[in-house]
Amino acid sequence: MIPPSHSNARVCLLVIAVALASCGPSATERAQEHVRKGTALASEGKYEAAVTELRKAVELDKDSLEGHTQLGNAYRGLKQYDKAIEAYRAAKKVDRYVTRPHIENAKALVEMGQIDPAIDALNHVIELDSKNLEAMLLLGRVSLMPRPLPEGGTGVPRASLERAELNLESAIGMAPDNVTAYHELALVQEQLGKKEPARASWAKVRELAAGKPDQAKLAAEATQALDRLKR
C-alpha cells in the first residue's frame, strides 16, 4: 500500500506538471512566431525557408489572415503563382473585408500578365476602402499596361484610363504632396490626350521632386515631359 504522504506528493507533482504545461505558448502564439520568422526570411529573399515557416503557421492557426497572406507573398517570390493565389484566397476567406490580401493578390495577377483581373481586384479594394492610397496608386500604374483588347490587338482601353484618372485625383485629394500620385496621373492624362492637365501634373511632379536626391529621376522625367508637351 502506498503511504498517504507519497500519494499526496504524486498528486502535487501532477498538478504542477499540468500547470506548467498550461503556461506554454498556445497554438495561436506559436503560429504568430512562425509568421514572424517567415516574414523576415521572405524579406531577405529566402522564399523556400519562408514557405516552410509560414505553412507551419497556417497549420497551427487556419484563421491566421497574416499567415496566409505572407505565405502567398513567399510563393509569389518563388513565382509559384497558383499556390500564391490559393494562399490569398484562403486569407480572404478569413475576412473578406480586409484589403491586404486583395492588394497582394492583384500584384500576383500583374506578374502573371492578367491585367484586367488585377484591375478588378484593385477596384474592389477601393470599393472596400475608398481611401486606400496604395490601391489607387497601383491601379493608376496597372491601368497603363497594355493587354488584349476585345476588338483585337493590344492596347489600353480608354475607360480604364478614365477610371484610373478619377482614382488618382482622389488620391491627390488625400495626399496633396504625394509625388507618385502626380506622376501616375500625368502619365494617365497624357495617354488620354489631355495635354494641359498633363502639363500641370508634370509641373507638380518637378516641383515636389526638386532638390531631393532620391527623386532625381522623377524630376528629370518631369522636365523631359514638359519639354515634350511644349511641341
Share of the chain above pLDDT 90, in %: 81
The more confidently predicted of residues 3 and 64 is 64
The more confidently predicted of residues 125 and 4 is 125
The more confidently predicted of residues 78 and 144 is 78
With contact defined as beta carbons under 8 Å apart, do 167 and 139 qualify? Answer: yes
Range name among 12-26, 72-86, 139-153 with the lowest pLDDT average: 12-26
What grid cell was written down for 54?
509560414
Domains by residue range for the chain, with CATH: 28-129 (1.25.40.10), 158-231 (1.25.40.10)
99-125 burial code (b ≥16 CB/10 A, e <16): bbbbbbbbbbbbebebbeebbebbbbb
Rg, Å, the chain Cα set? 26
Average pLDDT of the chain is: 91
DSSP class per residue in 77-120: HTT-HHHHHHHHHHHHHH-TT-SHHHHHHHHHHHHTT-HHHHHH
Q: Is the pLDDT of residue 2 over 60?
A: no
Q: State pTM to two decimals.
A: 0.81
Task: Give the single-character DSSP code of 95.
Answer: -
Local confidence band at 149 (pLDDT 50, 70, 90 cut-offs): confident
Residue range 85-95: average pLDDT? 98
pLDDT at 18: 46
Q: Is the pLDDT of residue 68 over 90?
A: yes
Q: What is the Cα–Cα distance from 198 to 85, expressed in whole angstroms?
A: 36
pLDDT at 27: 87
- Reported as a single tens digit per residue, the pLDDT across 8-45 is 656 555 555 444 445 567 889 999 999 999 999 999 99
